[in-house]
Amino acid sequence: MQTSFSRDMTREGWRLVDDVKNVREISIPNLSILPLPRRNPREIVDSDGGVYVRVAPVSGAKMRSFAKEKGADFGQRHAEYMLEHAKDIPRWWRRYAIIFPGTVWRDSERKLRVPRLWYEVTDFSTGTGAWRLDFLPLAGNWARHEGDQTRLLRPRT
């Protein structure tokens, strides 16, 4: 595992706020995906008979705490490793955005951000594309972030 970032955001005027202390080696086949925490889910029936689930907000701090508790607090170096080994990422993971809450940056607008890997389809006829790395704001409601398509990674047990 590399010791520096391939995508060093300090070049963009960002500041590293937090990063995993002990960068663990990972092997993609030995990882599993984990849904983000959801608090107090309730089914709501609207006036047209449609059913949806309403959940209580989960802050970025609670999401990070949940990730650490579950061993899912991988950081940007892990995301970059996965980009370098994208061929090993299971095809079915393409439907998810994967968050790496072990690394937190403060951007030039003073917003806290965490790394995210997501699959961008570039050819819809074949479904081919590439994995991308970007950074999501940490603030907000993580229980509803990106619908139900956002996940964490943790070692298989």
pLDDT tens, residue by residue, 45-62: 666 666 555 556 678 888
The pTM (predicted TM-score) of the whole model is 0.84
Are 16 and 4 in contact by the 8 Å Cβ rule? The answer is: no
The answer to whether position 16 is within a domain reads yes
List pLDDT tens digits, range 11-45. 999 999 999 987 778 899 999 998 887 655 565 56
The answer to whether position 65 is within a domain reads yes
List pLDDT tens digits, range 123-145. 888 888 999 999 999 987 765 55
The answer to whether position 129 is within a domain reads yes
Give me the number of domains the chain comprises.
1
The answer to whether position 104 is within a domain reads yes
The answer to whether position 2 is within a domain reads no
The domain of 87 spans: 9-155
Query: In DSSP terms, which residues pair with 152 in a beta bridge?
Result: 34
The answer to whether position 4 is within a domain reads no
The answer to whether position 1 is within a domain reads no
